[in-house]
Amino acid sequence: MKLRTILIASNLLSISIIMVFLIISYLRMYLPTEVVILLTCITLLAGVVSVFSHMIVTHPLLKGVRQLSDKSKQVAEGQFDVKLKEEGPKELKELASRFNDMSTNLDEMFRKVRESEAFKQEMIANISHDLKTPIASIHSYVEALQDDIIQDEETKEAYLKTIKSETNRLSLLIQELLDLSQYEKKDIPYESETVHIDQLVLETLQEFELLMQERDIEPNVSIAEEIRPITGSPNQLKRVLSNLIDNAIRYSEQGGNMDINIEQNDVQTTFNIKDTGPGIEEEHHQDIFERFYRVEKSRNKYYGGSGLGLAICKEIVEHHQGHIGVESEPGKGTTIWFTIPFPNKEGEQA
């Protein structure tokens, strides 16, 4: 039975009971017949007016219930971007407001689910590609060596070097996946120590001395005078700096420059690593810190790594309560910056 029918039936029932008692009262008063008839007609007319008044008064309530029913049906069908008009009695307005909050939350939740599913599919495709390529290369070289196709010792040595290189590439990818998973779950122990910035930069640059010579890259280091030590994990901070310097070297043009600028204020220390590469379109700025994201979509190993390096950097920096970002324009190089705050009075990162 519909709500409207129930409301009208209950109203008619109450009016009928009142009318019966009134008519009995009229008869018990021994009034003239004409007066009894007149009073009965007036009572009936009042009952009819009451029914119509009841229908008018309850119309907003019924309208709100119908609207809620229709919108709920849309939500049940998977349409979460629906909204109720917040009108009518106070209780209906509150109900509509809460329904709208619920639909907004559901829409946002399922949007994230869809994005997560799409990201999961893309991630699986990227992992498959990054694993398949070196495996196929190793397989072909091993077959050639097993079948004695290659007789020249120099060529054999070159094949073995390639196999070793591809094996190292696979090992690095798997290790980066494991590390990223641990960073995201906060499983890697965080041992906070005093870190001297000049020593950190010097040790990191020494690791890339040969690569910089091969690429003819000139590093320009600028560190603020009387710079204070920072607090954090030396190994993790060195990994961030290593990833950013490695990217700057690889993406800079042959014979280009790499600028490392470190500034400091009372709140934090800011690291800026700038290359002379092709730059990055603004539409990619937020995405480059996502797992497996690469501006160059072919995933060619000569144009970048696995796409995990910056994601790992982001996790480490955020683990230190800092921030990381990018400034870049096509043709003007790229600057990746990150901040490490000083500990507050309680000993925690600011």
Which strands make up the sheet holding 218-223, listed edge to edge? 218-223, 257-264, 268-274, 334-341, 324-328
Q: Tokens in use for 91?
A: 């209780």
Q: CATH fold of 193-341, please?
A: Heat Shock Protein 90 (3.30.565)
| pLDDT band with cut points at 50, 70 and 90 for residue 285 | confident
| Residue with more model confidence, 44 or 328 | 328
Predicted confidence at residue 26, as pLDDT, reads: 64
Q: Is residue 126 within 8 Å of 292, Cβ to Cβ?
A: yes
CA distance linking residue 338 with residue 241, whole number of Å: 10
CA quadruple 286, 292, 295, 297: dihedral, nearest 10: -150
Residue 272 clears pLDDT 90, i.e. is over it? yes
Q: What is the mean pLDDT of the chain?
A: 78
CA distance linking residue 306 with residue 292, whole number of Å: 6
Bridge partners (DSSP) listed for residue 194: 231
Compute φ and ψ for 322, nearest 5 degrees.
Answer: -105, -170
| pLDDT band with cut points at 50, 70 and 90 for residue 68 | confident
CA distance linking residue 224 with residue 271, whole number of Å: 11
345: helix, coil or strand?
coil
pLDDT in tens, 128-150: 656 766 777 777 778 777 777 77
CA distance linking residue 182 with residue 168, whole number of Å: 21
Cα separation values, 53 from 46, 49, 87, Å = 10, 6, 20
One-letter identity of residue 213: Q
Spell out the residues 6+ positions from residue 342 whose beta carbon is closer than 8 angstroms to its own.
228, 230, 231, 266, 267, 268, 269, 349, 350
pLDDT in tens, 165-214: 778 777 767 776 777 677 666 666 667 889 999 999 999 998 888 888 88
Q: Is residue 142 within 8 Å of 163, Cβ to Cβ?
A: yes
DSSP run (H or E) holding 339? strand 334-341
Predicted confidence at residue 298, as pLDDT, reads: 46
Tracing tokens 């790594």 back to the chain, one arrives at 305
One-letter identity of residue 72: S
The CATH class for the domain spanning 121-184 reads mainly alpha
Alpha helices by DSSP H, listed for 216-281, are 234-251
Spell out the residues 6+ positions from residue 325 whose beta carbon is closer than 8 angstroms to its own.
285, 336, 337, 338
Predicted confidence at residue 279, as pLDDT, reads: 87
Bridge partners (DSSP) listed for residue 59: none
CA distance linking residue 74 with residue 71, whole number of Å: 5
Q: Tokens in use for 334?
A: 């790229």
Predicted confidence at residue 262, as pLDDT, reads: 93
% of the chain with per-residue pLDDT over 90? 14
DSSP run (H or E) holding 178? helix 153-184
Predicted confidence at residue 302, as pLDDT, reads: 47
pLDDT in tens, 69-119: 777 787 777 777 777 777 766 777 777 788 788 888 888 887 777 776 766
